[in-house]
Structure 1
């Protein structure tokens, strides 16, 4: 201006040397003076210094994901495996053009998946939108991160990450992100991504068998309510089992033990316990790595001490990153109930009318019983008790629907007298106190129940 003053107005950004932050750029503008009659002075430089503006990332939205939402995870109702967020940035005069991960070092050193190291790899860029993957040495992607130029981002969990603590612990990846403006200035921040560990779950179960009954199998990984198998995202298997304090132990290849490690393979043992003072093999137990357990009881077990032989097997499962779950398998072997081996009576009409039973009319010549046995017909009833470990014997004998048998039942007392059994509510009952029985090993025979058919029934 004529008064020797001057004014400089900055109307747009000026590129500064890349990556130097708030550095200064000086413009030397040559100035000369001209008088009224046209004389011009020598020029001098007017220095104008412009300080570069730089971007700033104030905050990053933290992301949270859970391994139990993976296809192999334990959660039945899956949530999304992708989480999105955005950076709160001050772009500055030069405008931010991209967001990238700083891969100059190893920002996730020590992070593993299934024991293999995970490395961050840039896998693509499109219009300044950058894509990265966390990969194992075989190229398998564990997660994918997309950083968009507009400051939004998306993290997708694709596989498991090893967690170092027992249970559903948290692993946070602090991913170093930097924003770059038009003239190359950068600003950085850590993007926190927290991943919850999935764990295996095995459930308490029970097996009840009658001695000598066949094998029963249960699956401990199966949720008793939802029905799905909860192996967990890290993959798990049964790793050990042990005996409770009921006095049982396991025998395998002639070796006695109370704890068995599966070591990656199915194990078959025989359960032993002292019964009535005798070391007894109770049955065969098969424990499989996939969570299925089978038990088959032996026959003729001694139940002198109790009606059932009860014990518990403590089971442990372990997943790929060391998380464990425990459960109890309760096993009960009950005494076998007695079974009827033979139950029949063979007679002919008017049999039993030889006068031995008071109150019945005797047979006569017209009955044509000459040469036939006219004594009452003995009921042939033989019971298989299977074993006599609990002093088993016959008790009350009940005959239902007595009126349909077309005759009368009697029992013979110790004096040789026949006593009629009177129906009550359609059934006749021989009281156990009146039973006469004989034993032959595990079989017992009723010796004093008789039948007399109705007169002239046939």
Structure 2
């Protein structure tokens, strides 16, 4: 330490932690026996105590969260003369050794120096002055400030103010009053001094100010409670029972914090201000939120609907309770309980809504101070989760469910969240899979997808219908599938939205193949088509009856692989789908047992996976295989097999009936002549 500093006190005893703070703000820890110097401030931790040995041999305790500023000791002299009130002029004020604008005792030099005690925390910058208190037992009656500014008789105190005071004692109801010279003092609760002196009366000075510097020798007495920085809190709507918290377990919807009350050594109460009003437009599920404050001022209820007095619990949206409102150790706190949704700005996502609550701390003498704490409510938003269902090629062709609460038994339901006012949530439907933005409209109407169509109602009910004639659908085989996807949007009560998909899986089925050869001969014929030997060039009736042109139809829903025709030698002639398609220009010729089959055209049918095969059959020559007399017939049977892409086959035979040619004996005539 600087050797020029003046020692002012010694640390006699120390419990806990304490420091000496110099005028430049430097802190040094104190130990028992340390010297404290002029101008230093003793700072104690909460619960700590320092006993300072002053130069006059007295012990001065400093404990709790306090400061002790030590000033040079001066002579101490108490007056025994009758106290006299006098007017303090501006000149007088200029001669005083106390700070400018602060009243002082009649002769500051006659007062001994004692530590000036100040509570830690925010310092009030309100001006104040000295009040001179004189005890006079000869007075028969005087107004006595007691409790919350009520008045009683005896013990009596007479009060005089240094300087001209604006109002008399009988109007001192608390608050700041001005001196005529522009200074002001706080109107305190008047208490008796703790020191007694000889004689019937004495004069002491009380300084009403948390902190002052200079040479003043009277103890500081702060009778005004203070408020530091109240703690704000945050609660999330998604933690309500019906909320949409995706990360369980849910957090509590009961939050709170300290009200930062700093009592001033007397009884007090902490209450909500009657002027608390809900923010403009504050609603819950579209209903206006109102405030109710309990008669004791310790509970504020946000509610909906109408109420006479305290609302029914069924109307409560939230409650705010002041805990320990009368604590003289600063334990005042609040508890906010969110019970139901609060509407947030429309469609703005997981945004925040701020509520502010004002409160007042009022002590027994009417001194009061107010502050505000803030509560932030985070909006809950809906969550639409993907849904899935399935249909099967060729049946069943439809699927039904509810996308909000039952589209997929293996998936989680959609959740509207806390902002659910009971309205139907689906607000948009569209084909596709783009969920990057909300969709609007087409609720309850047919929306056509790739392989079918869907109808989704506002409450989430849906029905999907498969277009079973779709080529891609019919092209499926067992074990194969397609998907048809739709998007839908759900919207909560304050406009927040979530979009997801409904995916329909179309399961394939084994369709098999078919071949249909028309029977142009009818039931009485022996085959599907007929040719005649007589039509051959050397036949009995040359012409075109030895040739027939026709077609047959094949199907292969799972996809055509090929057709196979057995030729006259018993060999398989395999014709692929592409060869069939090209057969119109590149004919396919097959020798049969009695003739020639030429495949000369193919008309595909996408809906069946097959098509129509055109052919021409020509009889090559007459055959001696006829066994019967007359125009008997023989068959040229041509075996045909259709094969699809998954190996399914079907078989049939194209039978060409060949009618035998027979001789015709016609009458002949000739002549001879008798005798030559």
User: Could you tell me the TM-score, scaled by structure 1's length?
Assistant: 0.59
Specify which of 49, 62, 66 is matched with residue 236 of structure 2: 66
Aligned to 1:137: 305
Aligned to 1:187: 369
Aligned to 2:360: 178
In 2, the alpha carbon distance for the partners of 1:147 and 1:10 equals 40
String of CA shifts for 1:376-396, please: whole Å, max 9, x gaps. xxxxxxxxx9x7566546899
In 2, the alpha carbon distance for the partners of 1:47 and 1:3 equals 11
Q: Secondary structure at the match of 2:448?
A: strand
In 1, the alpha carbon distance for the partners of 2:79 and 2:433 equals 108
Q: Give matches, 1:94-243, under 5 Å.
A: 94-95=266-267, 97-104=268-275, 106-123=277-294, 125=296, 130-138=298-306, 139=311, 140-148=315-323, 149=325, 150=327, 151-164=332-345, 166-211=348-393, 212-217=395-400, 219-221=402-404, 227-235=412-420, 237-243=425-431
In 2, the alpha carbon distance for the partners of 1:10 and 1:70 equals 62
CA contact (8 A) 1:107 1:176 kept: no
Residues 303, 335 of structure 1: alpha-carbon distance in 2 compared, 3 angstrom cutoff: farther
Aligned to 2:256: 84
Q: Secondary structure at the match of 1:166?
A: coil
String of CA shifts for 1:22-61, please: whole Å, max 9, x gaps. 633698x9xxxxxxxxxxxxxx998978758321111212
Q: Secondary structure at the match of 1:188?
A: strand
Residues 446, 259 of structure 1: alpha-carbon distance in 2 compared, 3 angstrom cutoff: farther
In 1, the alpha carbon distance for the partners of 2:256 and 2:241 equals 20
Aligned to 2:485: 312
Any stretches of 5+ residues in structure 2 without a counterpart? 1-77, 82-109, 113-131, 136-143, 150-171, 177-184, 193-200, 209-221, 515-553, 573-637, 654-676
Residues 174, 304 of structure 1: alpha-carbon distance in 2 compared, 3 angstrom cutoff: closer
In 1, the alpha carbon distance for the partners of 2:483 and 2:79 equals 112
Residues 172, 418 of structure 1: alpha-carbon distance in 2 compared, 3 angstrom cutoff: same
CA contact (8 A) 1:13 1:93 kept: no
Aligned to 2:84: none
Specify which of 456, 472, 486 is matched with residue 287 of structure 1: 456
Q: Secondary structure at the match of 1:119?
A: strand
Residues 209, 192 of structure 1: alpha-carbon distance in 2 compared, 3 angstrom cutoff: same
Any stretches of 5+ residues in structure 1 without a counterpart? 30-43, 247-257, 274-281, 342-384, 397-411, 420-433, 449-458
Q: Secondary structure at the match of 2:257?
A: strand
Aligned to 2:467: 298
String of CA shifts for 1:273-325, please: whole Å, max 9, x gaps. 6xxxxxxxx54423133434331213322329975765432211110011011
User: Could you tell me the TM-score, scaled by structure 2's length?
Assistant: 0.42
Post-superposition offset of 1:417: 4.6
In 2, the alpha carbon distance for the partners of 1:83 and 1:94 equals 29
Specify which of 216, 220, 225 is matched with residue 55 of structure 1: 225
In 2, the alpha carbon distance for the partners of 1:415 and 1:226 equals 62
Residues 10, 199 of structure 1: alpha-carbon distance in 2 compared, 3 angstrom cutoff: farther
Which has the higher Rg, Structure 1 or Structure 2?
2
CA contact (8 A) 1:201 1:221 kept: no
Does residue 414 of structure 1 match 2:567?
yes
Post-superposition offset of 1:231: 1.8
CA contact (8 A) 2:431 2:449 kept: no
String of CA shifts for 1:226-269, please: whole Å, max 9, x gaps. 735422111271111123499xxxxxxxxxxx96343xxxx141
CA contact (8 A) 1:103 1:120 kept: no
In 1, the alpha carbon distance for the partners of 2:339 and 2:241 equals 9
Structure scoring higher RCO (CA < 8 A, sep ≥ 6) equals 1
In 1, the alpha carbon distance for the partners of 2:134 and 2:203 equals 15
Residues 339, 213 of structure 1: alpha-carbon distance in 2 compared, 3 angstrom cutoff: farther
Aligned to 1:324: 497
CA contact (8 A) 1:303 1:335 kept: no
Q: Give matches, 1:245-260, under 5 Å.
A: 260=441
Tell me the C-alpha RMSD between the 2 structures: 4.6
Does residue 271 of structure 1 match 2:481?
no
Q: Secondary structure at the match of 1:168?
A: coil
